Amino acid sequence: MSDTLKTAFDVRPLTAALGAEIHGLRLEEITDDEFAELRRLLLEHLVLFIPDQQGWSPESRTAFGRRFGELEVHQYLPHLDGHPEIQIIDSKQDGKIPIWHTDMTYSPNPPIGSILQIVRSPGVGGDTMWSNQYLAYEALSAPLRDLLGGLTAVHAIRIPGLESRAEHPVVRVHPETGRRALFVNRAHTSHIPQLSRNESDALLQYLTEFATSPQFTCRYQWRQGDVAIWDNRVTQHYAVDDYQERRTGLRVVVLGDTPAGNEARWEQYQPKPGERYAPARFNAKESY
């Protein structure tokens, strides 16, 4: 990451991998110039934290989200009265399932990003972690990167009221930076259709563990009113479930684009006569 670019804000990187706190900014009153700078910083640090944004109005919150793109109305999460784009994340209402994931990769067009404000936080615990998928991809050996560049992965979810399936490149190209990143995750990636079931399971096990290694991550300790903005295209995140008190948040999600990458270099794997082949399925919800 560059440390030579100047900014109007007080930018405090959290780790060498990703993440930065931004001080000297009020999201309720953000100007066009400030937003342009914030967007540049997001591409550089992948997840930004803006502390103490108490009093952020619903109208300003949705207007800010729309600067990034069209906002999602979630299919099963509750929302703020009168504001269907503002989702309520509540630890007492299925709001915490600790597993590394990228949001909604089971969709043909996963979100490009999310904006989450913690409204109520536990006295201790309830941190969230993020992982840089650029770095995870770049740390792989050249032969493995070459193999992955010719594979796709199926992402799926199947829970009451929501069933979806999509196929994406295993290596995704970011549409704004042109950098390549791993695009598989433990929660939603079912299988790699060009491989046998055993090969797919083994490779995904390795990739999902490697992609969330400590050297690629940052961890954020929430305080009431803090806001996080992250690039969903090149990160994973994990909500640490180490608390009993209630934790709530308000989130808006920016609708996505089609993940771009190489075409598959091989046909889908065809089981031999008598061979049993049943790709794994994951029944998981997002957690924050």
Q: How far apart are CA 93 and CA 174, in angstroms?
A: 34
In DSSP notation, 89-127 reads: EETTTT------B-TTTTSSS--SEEEEEEEE--SS---
> What confidence tens digit (pLDDT) does each residue in 213-235 have?
999 999 999 999 999 999 999 99
> What confidence tens digit (pLDDT) does each residue in 21-53 have?
999 999 999 999 999 999 999 999 999 999 999
Q: Which of 61, 101, 172, 180 is catalytic?
A: 101
> Catalytic annotation on 191?
no
Q: Which of 155, 174, 191, 251 is catalytic?
A: 251
Q: How far apart are CA 206 and CA 201, in angstroms?
A: 9
Q: What are phi and psi of 23, to 5 degrees?
A: -115, 155
- Burial (CB count <10 Å: 0-12, 13-18, 19+), residue 235: buried
Q: pLDDT exceeding 70 applies to what percent of the chain? A: 92
Q: Which of 61, 74, 103, 174 is catalytic?
A: 103
Q: Which of 174, 191, 233, 237 is catalytic?
A: 237
Q: What are phi and psi of 165, to 5 degrees?
A: -150, 140
Question: Would you say 193 and 268 are in contact if contact means Cβ atoms under 8 Å apart?
Answer: yes
> What confidence tens digit (pLDDT) does each residue in 127-139 have?
999 999 999 999 9
- Binned at pLDDT 50, 70 and 90, residue 92 comes out as confident
> Catalytic annotation on 188?
no
Q: What are phi and psi of 116, to 5 degrees?
A: -120, 130
Three-state SS for 212-244 is CCHHHEEEECCCCCCEEEEECCCEEEEECCCCC
What domains does the chain contain, in order, with CATH numbers?
Answer: 15-254 (3.60.130.10)
How many CB atoms lie under 10 A from the CB of residue 34? 18
- pTM of whole model > 0.85? yes
> Catalytic annotation on 251?
yes
> Catalytic annotation on 168?
no
